[in-house]
Amino acid sequence: MKKALFFILALFSGLMAPAQNNLAALIPYPNGVKLLDGTFRISEKETVSSVPAELLFAAEALQDVFKQRFGLKPERAEKGRIRLMLNDRLEGRERYRLTVDGKGISIEGSTPAGVLYGVMTLDQLLLGDAVNTGQRKIQAVHIDDAPAYPVRALMLDPARHFLPVQDVKDYIDEMARFKYNRLQLHLTDDQGWRIEIKSRPELTGIGAFRNAKAQTPSPDNGFYTQEELRELIAYAALRNVEIVPEIDVPGHTAAMLTAYPELRCDFLKDSVFVLGRTDNVMLSAANPKVYEVLDDVIREVADIFPSKTIHLGGDESAIERNWAKSSENLALMRREGYTKPEQLMEFFFTKVLAMTKKYGLHTILWCELDNVRLPANHYLLNYPQDVTLVSWRYGLTPKCIELTGKSGNALLLAPGEYAYLDYPQFKNDLPEFNNWGMPVTPLRQTYTFDPTYKLAPADRKHIIGVMGTLWGEAIRDINRASYMTYPRGLALAEAGWTRMEYRGWKSFKDRIYPNLAELMKRGVSFRVPFEILED
Ligand code: TNX
């Protein structure tokens, strides 16, 4: 208790931000910063120069920054001292240039996303200054910044526990501040089907209600209508966050199979929604009706999501679910001359990937090349080269990088040992739910994640980014979600954005304090990382 009080006092007094300049709150740390002599004093009558329509959102974000930091609301004027500009000669979609000198502040980017990121960085500069001086001034600086990786993602899992739209929006707001640009929504799993598919109303009619007796609203029940998803997509897009839907097949499908029992493997009797258990139930690879339903689902997903990217799961299925016990599947294997059940995965995904191609979607799958449960000389799945894979199994990402380097697949990194935000942050973090002994993953461990794995550039050029995954078995609401996300989400944001040469635990440790105080002010829950006081 005493420790907690000390920590909170320290947060608000700025006692723990030793860096005495305005760089003290930058997360993720920029890839090019030069402090200059001089300061810019912000007057009461500051104005923001007028902007083209594409920059209106960034301009509003800037006005909001001034309101939050100084209680000012700078008007828009033709020639303000604070300037936001599009500059198409700046290379890179998310790159921005932020210059502060005695005369003003200018932010430029080749896209609205870049300009918005400049505003986010300015906000943290002001926060750093406020922590150190509490005055309305800002030290001169030149920042020319662009991300180390094009994809910086978080994953939410409203399938296990449903999260209302407003909560997802709030989560996106925070992501955008730390320059995350992708939210993967794990929309289907054993415990729920959360996306409306108009041609297949049973999917949500039955599959979205794990607990029919529960009083609504209950995190067991609920789904997003297509209209809500469209609204969410637009909301996220303004903040440079792309929403990638995940429809997890052929395993993790108990909710789908509760709606359509005839699609499951014939040796399985029931599909049950059991929270915290990955069900054995799987789609049959041999039943043509499976592909009819999936065609409808994928067609409607393609219509809803302008990003034209879909994640189709594919995890924990190749051998783990005893697919080859099904007499239908065995007959299929004989017919095709297959000797290993993994080949059923290829059969299944060949058909499903033809659908995603037909509807113009790019496909992402969880990587199963490095499955530990497979024998050393196991059959390696043949993933088509145009599929992006996500490495996830604990400790196996180096292997996955090597194998995808050979197979030619793009790779997103979500290693269990750093990026699993559902894992406890300290020993008794999840007293009510830790049914398989999830490994403790403290902030420092997440921070040590080096996405380069010290490999030569040629051996890692297929790595497209970093994703933190917040699996939802124990996440009953958004407060729990943000408590598990932060502060580890700050560490992952930096892993995805900041080049290794600019990263360091000591500096990061200092920079998180003002940001934690800000999270607190905005009412976002997070775990207090007590242990770093002693580190
Ligand atoms: C494995 S990671 C899963 C999820 C679980 C998670 C729990 C992955 C691709 N599949 O279904 O929720 O572990 O940590």
b/e 23-34 (16+ beta carbons within 10 angstroms → b) = bbbbbbbbbebe
| 223-232, 242-251, 313-322: least confidently modelled range | 313-322
For residue 306 the two structure tokens come to 């302008």
Instruction: Indicate which CATH number applies to the domain containing 44.
Output: 3.30.379.10
Domain annotation covers residue 2: no
Q: Could you tell me which residue, 129 or 93, shows the higher pLDDT?
A: 93
Q: Which atom of ligand 1 is nearest to the CA of 422?
A: 14
Q: What is the pLDDT of residues 383-426, one digit of tens each?
A: 999 999 999 999 999 999 999 999 999 999 999 999 999 999 99
* Domain shared by 363 and 477, yes or no: yes
Cβ atoms of residues 475 and 407 within 8 Å: no
Measured by CA distance, the residue closest to atom 10 of ligand 1 is 315
How many structural domains are present in the chain?
2
Domain end among 145, 164, 199: 145
Active site (catalytic) residues: 316
pLDDT at 18: 42
* Domain shared by 204 and 314, yes or no: yes
Domain end among 145, 164, 186: 145
DSSP state of 144: E
* Domain shared by 518 and 467, yes or no: yes
* Domain shared by 207 and 266, yes or no: yes
Whether pLDDT at 315 is above 70: yes
Q: Which atom of ligand 1 is nearest to the CA of 471?
A: 12
Residue type, 53: A
Nearest to 487 by CA among 452, 532, 457, 434: 532
Domain annotation covers residue 10: no
* Domain shared by 165 and 129, yes or no: no
Measured by CA distance, the residue closest to atom 5 of ligand 1 is 471
Q: What is the pLDDT of residues 204-214, one digit of tens each?
A: 999 999 887 77
Q: Which atom of ligand 1 is nearest to the CA of 315?
A: 9
Q: What is the pLDDT of residues 110-152, one digit of tens each?
A: 999 999 999 999 999 999 877 667 778 889 999 999 999 999 9
pLDDT at 431: 64
DSSP state of 324: G
The dihedrals phi and psi of 489, each to the nearest 5 degrees, come to -60, -25
* Domain shared by 124 and 213, yes or no: no
Residue 514 CA to residue 186 CA, distance in Å, equals: 32
Band (pLDDT 50/70/90 cuts) for residue 375 is low
Cβ atoms of residues 34 and 141 within 8 Å: yes
Band (pLDDT 50/70/90 cuts) for residue 435 is low
Domain annotation covers residue 9: no
Domain annotation covers residue 447: yes
For residue 41 the two structure tokens come to 């004093």
DSSP-derived 3-state class of residue 155? strand
* Domain shared by 479 and 436, yes or no: yes
Q: What is the pLDDT of residues 70-86, one digit of tens each?
A: 888 888 888 889 999 99
Ligand 1, residues at Cβ distance < 6 Å: 278, 315-316, 366, 392, 420, 422, 471, 473
Instruction: Provide the pairing of β-strand 33-41 with 137-145.
Output: antiparallel
Domain annotation covers residue 7: no
Q: What is the mean pLDDT of residues 98-109?
A: 96
Residue 266 CA to residue 262 CA, distance in Å, equals: 8
Domain annotation covers residue 365: yes
What proportion of the chain, given as a percentage, has pLDDT over 90?
Answer: 75
* Contact partners, residue 351, CB within 8 Å, separation at least 6: 291
Q: What is the pLDDT of residues 470-516, one digit of tens each?
A: 999 999 999 999 999 999 999 999 999 999 999 999 999 999 999 99
Domain end among 145, 162, 191: 145
Residue 359 CA to residue 37 CA, distance in Å, equals: 55
Instruction: Indicate which CATH number applies to the domain containing 356.
Output: 3.20.20.80
* Domain shared by 387 and 325, yes or no: yes
Q: What is the pLDDT of residues 13-23, one digit of tens each?
A: 444 444 457 89
How many Å lie between the centroid of ligand 1 and the Cα of residue 470? 9
Cβ atoms of residues 86 and 97 within 8 Å: no
* Domain shared by 298 and 441, yes or no: yes
Expressed as residue numbers, the domain containing 366 is 151-533
* Domain shared by 68 and 109, yes or no: yes
Whether pLDDT at 281 is above 90: no
Q: What is the pLDDT of residues 2-52, one digit of tens each?
A: 556 555 555 554 444 444 578 999 999 999 999 999 999 999 888 988 889
| Cα separation of the two ends of the chain | 19
Domain annotation covers residue 4: no
- Cβ count near 166 (within 10 Å): 10
* Domain shared by 51 and 73, yes or no: yes
How many Å lie between the centroid of ligand 1 and the Cα of residue 48? 47
In angstroms, what CA-CA distances link 329 with 264, 292, 317, 339, 394?
A: 11, 17, 13, 12, 30
pLDDT at 17: 41
* Domain shared by 223 and 302, yes or no: yes
Cβ atoms of residues 381 and 364 within 8 Å: no
Q: What is the pLDDT of residues 334-358, one digit of tens each?
A: 999 998 888 899 999 999 999 999 9
Measured by CA distance, the residue closest to atom 6 of ligand 1 is 471
Q: What is the mean pLDDT of residues 245-262?
A: 95
Domain annotation covers residue 1: no
DSSP-derived 3-state class of residue 362? strand
